[in-house]
Amino acid sequence: TRILDELVDLTGWHRDYARQALRNALTPTIVKPKPGRKPVYGPDLMPALITCWAVLRAPAGRLLAAMLPTLVPMLRRDKELDITDTQADLLMKMSAATIDRKLAGERKKMLPRGRSHTKPGSLLKSQIPIRTWAEWDDAVPGFVEIDLVGHEGGNAAGEYCFTLTVTDISTGWTVNRSVKNKAAKWVFEALEHVISVFPFPIIGIDSDNGSEFINEHLLAYCTDHEITFTRSRAGNKNDGAHVEQKNWARVRELVGYLRYDTPAELELLNQIWELDRVFTNYLLPQQKLISKTRHGAKVSKKHDQPKTPHQRAIAHETMRKRPIITMNAAFKRIKPAALERQVL
């Protein structure tokens, strides 16, 4: 009782509570940790998520999340994903942050195998090109920027292939076509091919000041077909920001910086571009910059929701019915996983 008396005096507890506390001190209660909440996305979903991510060439979570509701049904249709309806619903609802968190380990595995760390850098630091704004309206599908990418492999001697890149500013629709050299004859033939495979009419072309573009043949063609033809300022190679970005994102990222100078390599390049044209425009979502504000040294950028060029094109109010039907029919024929295996 002496110990009990001292405990009551020191703590001010009631005598009965102090007695109970002493008894409990001799046999401490082991508190078992409560089980956490059952994870919404279990490990059984990881193989399917990795498959979707790999098919779209390892995009960021915000881009993959936007495409999952479209991609998952397509892959299930083609027997590329073996998952239940419940798993498919969960996968299609996964947020961008969850995707990035789940795939962090897989992304790290890719890096040592040669995934490029090169960034576009100054390619995107362009200024406003000179255009006749009374005629040029790049908010409407059909106004494109064109540019050439050289495949000299670090050695500019001799003849080597070039790739013509044509990018629609409004939708991001991009078509590539390689040529044996940058003679105006071959570039014009490549441009004619690009125009023929574009799903909607090209109504405006903006190029740099190279002789492969600025020539009477192309000017006459644009005049005959009522295509607005403008050029960037002399000495400003990066005026065409949209097409310069595609040079890096599509051409350099896919075929690298090697030298291509043989007929066989030229044929292979164009086979790649034909497959990639479908893949890029129908399956790869893109984000467009809406606004950019500067607060001192900090620059805040606001982008729109990720959409594929196909989605942007068919949703545009000026798009005619026939191109929409053509694009939707082409989209229904796509087998994403098989197409990606062909490209890579």
Model pTM greater than 0.75? yes
Domain 121-343: CATH superfamily, name plus number = Ribonuclease H-like superfamily/Ribonuclease H (3.30.420.10)
Q: How confident is the model at residue 39 (pLDDT cuts 50, 70, 90)?
A: confident
Cβ-contact 49, 103 below 8 angstroms: yes
DSSP bridge partners of 303:
289
Beta-strand ranges (E) seen in the chain are 143-150, 162-168, 174-179, 204-207, 228-231, 289-295, 298-303
Residue 248: the pLDDT is 58
Q: Are strands 298-303 and 289-295 parallel, antiparallel or unpaired?
A: antiparallel
Q: Is the pLDDT of residue 249 over 80?
A: no
Average the pLDDT over 48-69 and give the result: 94
Q: How confident is the model at residue 240 (pLDDT cuts 50, 70, 90)?
A: very low
Average the pLDDT over 144-163 and give the result: 90
Q: How confident is the model at residue 196 (pLDDT cuts 50, 70, 90)?
A: very high
Residue 155: the pLDDT is 87
Residues of the chain with CATH 3.30.420.10: 121-343
For the stretch 146-155, pLDDT in tens is 888 899 988 8
SS3 202: coil
Amino acid at 240: G
Among 15-19, 102-106, 237-241, 259-263, the minimum mean pLDDT is found in: 237-241
- Alpha-carbon span 139 to 168, nearest angstrom: 10
